[in-house]
Structure 1
């Protein structure tokens, strides 16, 4: 069996994909828009020894497989392939491999994971989410290179779901709209104080200060993010109103904030810690203050919070946990927040990620030079895969607005939402 035929058997002969291999073999549909180039026989080892799609991802990250064509289209075409491979299929493919001495030798060797895989991603759940471990997990993902993130995210440096106001909106317009939507939901006004936990590169903090005259404090566990944000704040003349600190949100000593925003942090908190998390944020607010939680969610409350052998857990967000929107809302409610509004921005995140994919492709050679080809490949396949996830409702993005009521039950909320559509 030729190497190209091995991959054709995995995909099925009808898949609109072409396969080429270093040994000169070809299979699949000649001239297809998507072509997989197999550059090493050891790619077979990753496929046979790694569970699910993790094997294909490992082979791609190490450069044993190249993908020619749009990565989103490639993953859309191939998404059902590995999930439909049964043990019988693997046995049949393995039988063909064993008849070739070179492939047999490659398949029999169990390869180490690529170095981009977080070495601590398989720690038991009960050991996760200490302050030290959270700092390590955040650093793994966010302390890559500010320059790399500038190329991928664009000028906004916003690494969270944007909100597209119309079909033709650009990524930058959509990120501005997202920050403004959060500000309006929180009812920000000049002179207020905002706490933004997990603030990233300070996008929400600077927006609140510049557009609303709010005194805003952001905190992040990423040292590189904090350094970038503080420089950007100074460069924009916002130092009197905006500040970003490199610290754990649990170490924020100030209290009495008028509003709290949590944009993309809840995914890192851990299911067992959500009650304490929302209670902490509730305690930071004045009575009548609002909290906006913006988080990736699972489409239901019954699916597992994480896939231990999943690519994202191993390579991208170690220790990340996603809950259903109902569960997140219940934890906010039980912590004392009255829930006043919720919306799902799932399709907006697919568009946001598509924009990031296009940015990475446009800066591919520079990105490879900056962070290395392995890391760039991790990002390419991770973001493209997430486009599928949001488009096909494997994952969602919910904004949930809560208020800390006055003692007499007053909410200070308008009778109807006043932040537009």
Structure 2
């Protein structure tokens, strides 16, 4: 049945309302499965212990290819003007995507207690939305940005050159092997931790490059209670296969289990409806700009697979939107944690 459904989906022939209904059904099944697993009181603790045995990140080549095989032009046509490839914040119904990008960036630097003149690390910098926001609004800060994508580095370098920002340095590196002799007042990491496994080693790595009293600000999406891996086996797990290989759905409190090197200081929860609205805005932009987007999909996936991946990208945005607005945004959402160096 799932194989047949996927075959129809790959022809881009399934109405959105049917897709969304199917997605909500699968989300309900996921909750039932995780509820059953969690009946064992030791399950969550055992899961955290298993993470400690893994590399910081796994399947990095696959994850990198899934999101960055598509040309930069695709993201320029789908995302907001800041190219913020993560949840934005919509304070009211009239907020535009551009305004929502700025709202979340402002919350990020405020909650991270950023001050002008600090040394900053943007770990997993994406297309540079936070890096460029800090460069513009905190001109005395020195920013080191780390991405595993050379196309992202090229984009950020180009913008910095265009805007004459001299306080940004972009590195391309795998977080497993990345090291630095620099020390930072603040480390920001926006929606990178979901692609990681061994949080103990990752937190140790961050702590090692923080100055005394330095802080880590982490923004990640999560489930309110359950933690699980994104599986890639089976026809119903195509999202894990094509978009989140090696990924993790953290629970809200996941990082609280890993405080050997960094101590928890503060937490904010961002209702999932904000991310749902972000994803709906991306979907609308994709549909609006589809004639320009299709050539980028041909470039990335080849003529024979372009239609399939057009359907996959649209379904990816819909699936994530439905996930984050499930139970009115209180089931899956974004959490902001601040940790201070011990």
Q: Distance in 2 between matches of 1:82 and 1:158?
A: 28
On the 8 A contact 2:63/2:246 being kept in 1, the answer is yes
1:362 paired with 2:311, answer no
The partner residue of 2:105 within 179, 188, 201 is 179
Q: Following superposition of structure 1 onto structure 2, how do residues 324-335 of structure 1 map, counting pairs within 5 Å? A: 324-331=251-258, 333-335=259-261
1:274 paired with 2:199, answer yes
Structure 2 length as normaliser, TM-score? 0.81
Alpha-carbon distance, 1:130 to partner: 7.4
Question: After superposition, what is the alpha-carbon deviation per residue over 1:50-89, rounded to whole angstroms, capped at 9, x for unaligned?
Answer: 4xxxx5345312x1x5134xx3x4433344667899xxxx
1:75 paired with 2:19, answer yes
The partner residue of 1:321 within 248, 251, 256 is 248
Q: Distance in 2 between matches of 1:127 and 1:133?
A: 15
2:337 alignment counterpart = 400
Going from structure 1 to structure 2, the CA distance change for 1:56 and 1:81 (only over 3 Å counts) comes to: farther
Structure 1 length as normaliser, TM-score? 0.67
Q: Following superposition of structure 1 onto structure 2, how do residues 90-239 of structure 1 map, counting pairs within 5 Å? A: 133-213=59-139, 214-238=141-165
Alpha-carbon distance, 1:382 to partner: 0.7
On the 8 A contact 1:340/1:403 being kept in 2, the answer is no
Q: Which consecutive unaligned segments of at least 5 residues does structure 1 have?
A: 1-46, 86-124, 406-421
2:180 alignment counterpart = 253
Q: Which consecutive unaligned segments of at least 5 residues does structure 2 have?
A: 30-50, 298-305
Question: After superposition, what is the alpha-carbon deviation per residue over 1:241-284, rounded to whole angstroms, capped at 9, x for unaligned?
Answer: 112221123423133201000101001112xx111111111221
On the 8 A contact 2:223/2:250 being kept in 1, the answer is yes
On the 8 A contact 2:56/2:201 being kept in 1, the answer is no
Q: Distance in 2 between matches of 1:135 and 1:79?
A: 28
Alpha-carbon distance, 1:298 to partner: 2.0
1:293 paired with 2:242, answer no
Residue-pair matches, total: 305
2:309 alignment counterpart = 375
Alpha-carbon distance, 1:127 to partner: 11
On the 8 A contact 2:225/2:252 being kept in 1, the answer is yes
RMSD: 2.6
1:353 alignment counterpart = 279
Alpha-carbon distance, 1:161 to partner: 0.4
1:388 paired with 2:322, answer yes
